Amino acid sequence: MTEQIYKGLAGVVADHTAVSKVNPESNSLLYRGYPVQELAAELSFEEVALLLWNGELPSAAEKEEFRGFERSHRALDPRVRAAIDLLPLDCHPMDVGRTAVSVLGANHPLSEDSSPEAELIKAKELFAAFPAVVAYDQRRRRELELVEPREDLDYSQNFLWMTFGEEAPEEVVDAFRVSMVLYAEHSFNASTFTARVVTSTLADLHSAVTAAIGALKGPLHGGANEAVMHTFEEIGIDPAETREAAAARAKAWMEQALAEKRKVMGFGHRVYKSGDSRVPTMKQALDAMVEYYGRGELMGLYDGLEAAMGEAKNILPNLDYPAGPTYHLMGFDTEMFTPLFIAARITGWTAHIAEQRANNALIRPLSAYNGPDERHL
Ligand code: COA
């Protein structure tokens, strides 16, 4: 009998989820039933996190309670700082993020307590603690001192404060908040599925998130936002160039790349084949940043690549395509882009970990053996 193989598990429905719904036909994405565009327009990232964990929008009292909790759990744990300081400055920041979560898990008093209450506390703490890891890592690479968190700022404002040591303007904070909301959750993508696989063995939450970070690092998944910027860098970024000239160079680069059968990161999606539901909202945030920083030439590169890919292969951009240049304009180093994705996706991962635990079955598929027939020594 020849087994049916679902390479890459493409088309396989692995389980139910009530966390989010991706609908490729209508290009829509719902978090707990709410269109992500509406959430990005109206809510803080903290409110979206509570929605993903609890299944419902938070009441005023729940918001207030989480506000206090989140703001009081932001400081970089000295043990995490010590572990980060042992890592070389040229290691990838995703390695730093992965190590930081692992260290937090090893030191957590509730590490082995997988009750829903303990899991939610750990999820909220991780949400609050991770921005300091990203901020500190970018700063140490630039030989800058750690900046302590500020309790008078919200999540997005404080994230930018800790990274850059100055208060970010409203426009920048808003684009950042939108990116966090859009990156928060996306059903059974590779890293979320990884988190669910690890959870299904009854391992602890920090192990599941650490594994998920490993999956997110790859350029076919989260690493694509960084790779997009490397593409822009390879083409050459020149703020003095006109938008039209930049677009023409980008088009020529793409034609050449496709002729060489290169995969160009930031385009294509396993589920969306006629456009990523999150792109229009992220593109608006990018447009706002381009206008704020007066960097029209970057949009020349952006438009040129998109047009050439569309004409040649009819493959459309995914969320990482507008997110990459947005983070670049804000001042994040290119290698920090995927750790920003971790900060956002901690919400979705931990919501899925809770869901997996509540109705668990060990995830363990079969394989079709195609090695040598039985033989003997
Ligand atoms: N650049 C160039 N060609 C691409 C492409 C890209 N970004 N994405 C898909 N294609 C082409 C493939 O080469 C393949 O062409 P072929 O049939 O002529 O061989 C075809 O489209 C199907 O691609 P495949 O990789 O098999 O589809 P998939 O459903 O497995 O791919 C991705 C989904 C995301 C892995 C793929 O689109 C990709 O690698 N994109 C770049 C990475 C990226 O941006 N990831 C972030 C996702 S949110």
Is residue 33's pLDDT more than 80?
yes
Give percent above pLDDT 70 in the chain.
100
Looking at residue 59, the DSSP 8-state letter turns out to be P
For the chain, which residues make up each domain, given as ranges?
A: 20-219+335-359, 224-330
20-24, 80-84, 94-98: the lowest-pLDDT one: 20-24
Token pair in block for residue 83 = 């572990």
Nearest CA to ligand 1 atom 13: 263
Question: How does pLDDT run across 251-292, given as a tens digit for each residue?
Answer: 999 999 999 999 999 999 999 888 999 999 999 999 999 999
Specify the pLDDT at position 3: 85
**Domain 20-219+335-359: CATH class, spelled out:** mainly alpha
Q: Which residues pair with 314 in a beta bridge?
A: none
CA of residue 213 to ligand 1 center, whole Å: 21
Q: Per the residue annotation, which of 206, 269, 328, 352 is the catalytic one?
A: 269
Whether 224-330 and 20-219+335-359 are alike in CATH topology: the answer is no
The mean pLDDT value for 300-306 works out to 97
Question: How does pLDDT run across 107-141, given as a tens digit for each residue?
Answer: 999 999 999 999 999 999 999 999 999 999 999 99
Q: Per the residue annotation, which of 137, 204, 276, 320 is the catalytic one?
A: 320
Nearest CA to ligand 1 atom 23: 268
Specify the pLDDT at position 1: 61
Ligand 1 atom nearest 318 alpha carbon? 48
> Is the domain defined by 224-330 classed in CATH 3.40.50.2300?
no
Question: How does pLDDT run across 137-166, given as a tens digit for each residue?
Answer: 999 999 999 999 999 999 999 999 999 999
Ligand 1 lined by 182 (C-beta under 6 Å): no
